Structure formats: C-alpha cells, structure tokens
Chain A
Amino acid sequence: DQQVKQNSPSLSVQEGRISILNCDYTNSMFDYFLWYKKYPAEGPTFLISISSIKDKNEDGRFTVFLNKSAKHLSLHIVPSQPGDSAVYFCALGAGNNRKLIWGLGTSLAVNP
C-alpha cells in the first residue's frame, strides 16, 4: 500500500512554460514535505520543502503548494528550462521520524 503517489510517471513541457508535478498522500500524519531532483547516475538533490503550517513556499523558479485537506502536494517550475529535465521525487516526513517516505518519481522532459 503506497502512502505517497506520483501518478504521472512522465511529463513533457515546452521550454519557458510552466511544469507542474504532483504528489498525493494518504497519511495525515505527514507534516514535512520535500522535493528532490535526480539526474541519471547522480544522487538526488534537495530542491525545496514545506512544512504543514504553510500552504506555499517559493524559491526562485520553484514553488511548492500544499493542500492539506486534499492531501496533495505540487511543485511548479516556471519558466521551465531544458536543464530542469530530470526525475522529480516528493518525499514526506512525520514529526521527529527522520525516515522519509518517497514517491516513485516523475520524469520531466523540457523541450527546447
């Protein structure tokens, strides 16, 4: 039973447009939400996070939105650039438990 779901395995977007990556979860105990980016043959790189006391966090081109009632998390990248092409993972944590629960990832392709 997967607690964290990224329902789109892949996404293709034109350069300059907005990329929206989604993540749904089932356990309301999660209170810390992170996005990581991963290039092939490299480790995941931390992008942005949000705690459950907020519904939006912005860092440059990246914005994370949290809808607690819908148990839904999204990452917006605007404008999208070809260098953003990677696999994006959402990872969720609860309280002091440092074991993160990961989605399976969405592969984003930004086309020039």
Chain B
Amino acid sequence: NAGVMQNPRHLVRRRGQEARLRCSPMKGHSHVYWYRQLPEEGLKFMVYLQKENIIDESGMPKERFSAEFPKEGPSILRIQQVVRGDSAAYFCASSSITSGGNTIYFGEGSWLTVV
C-alpha cells in the first residue's frame, strides 16, 4: 500500500491522558502535514513538517500539542493531558518536492474520542 498510513484509526482516551497519533507518508514523500476536523467544522491546518524540521506550526494550539517527524520512522502528533474538546478527526497528509503544485495526499484519518 503506497498511500499515507495513519494509526490508530480510532483512539479513546480519558481526560488527562496522552494521545499519540502516527503517520507514515507516501513512499518518496518528505513533507508531512497534520490537519484537524472538529465536529461540524471544516479542515484546519495544524502543522507542516519535513524530516527533523518543523516548517510551519501556526495552526498548533500553544499548549499540550506537539509534532515531530524524525529522520527515521513515522511522524507523531502528540496531545498531552487531553480534554473533551480535543475529540476530533486528525488527518495526516504528505507531499513530495515534485508533487504537482501544492497537491497533498491524505491518509484515512485518526478519530480521537476523549471521555
């Protein structure tokens, strides 16, 4: 499967726990993006990373959220001390330097439910 892979697809956490969402980009892609879709809302950009670098994190909440894309392994979106408002679908996307224009390709998403 050459697509963007996200896991877990569904994650349930109690308030105060940590959530870790993983994303493996498409083969050959070196750019990763995280988006969030809250219930009844559109897609919101969170962060854009290249290997070992955060390029744009203007959409990341200031506290509790962090993202990384290490030299080896998947990109990780980490949410510490989750609250009910963090319940959302989190989508990862990837692109390559040669992707047409700004075209990005999405994974299937990770649905976080905070109880």
In the complex, the answer to whether B105 meets A98 with C-beta atoms within 8 Å is no
Which of B93, B102, B111 contacts A32 (CB under 8 A)? B102
Is chain A's binding surface mostly helix, strand, loop or mixed?
strand
Given contact pairs A43-B91, A99-B56, A103-B42, A93 touches B106 in the complex (Cβ within 8 A): no
Measured between beta carbons, the chain B residues less than 8 angstroms from A34 are: 101-103
B22 at the interface (CB under 8 A from A): no
Is chain B's binding surface mostly helix, strand, loop or mixed?
strand
Measured between beta carbons, the chain B residues less than 8 angstroms from A45 are: 106
In the complex, the answer to whether A98 meets B48 with C-beta atoms within 8 Å is yes
A44 to B6, CA, bound (A): 13
In the complex, the answer to whether A43 meets B108 with C-beta atoms within 8 Å is yes
In the complex, the answer to whether B100 meets A102 with C-beta atoms within 8 Å is no
A93 to B48, CA, bound (A): 14
In the complex, the answer to whether B45 meets A99 with C-beta atoms within 8 Å is yes
A55 to B48, CA, bound (A): 29
Given contact pairs A43-B4, A43-B91, A99-B56, A89 touches B100 in the complex (Cβ within 8 A): no
Greatest chain B CB density within 10 A among A41, A89, A97, A98 is at: A98
Q: How far is the CB of B15 from chain A (nearest CB, A)?
A: 24
Q: How far is the CB of A66 from chain B (nearest CB, A)?
A: 13
A11 at the interface (CB under 8 A from B): no
Please name 12 pairs of A and B residues whose Cβ atoms are closer than 8 Å in the assembled complex, sorted by A: A43-B4, A43-B107, A43-B109, A45-B106, A46-B104, A49-B103, A93-B102, A98-B31, A98-B33, A98-B48, A98-B55, A99-B58
B residues with a Cβ closer than 8 A to A are: 4, 6, 31, 33, 41-45, 48, 55-56, 58, 91, 93, 95, 100-109, 111
8 A-B pairs closest in CB distance: A93-B102, A43-B106, A104-B42, A32-B101, A102-B43, A44-B106, A43-B108, A32-B102
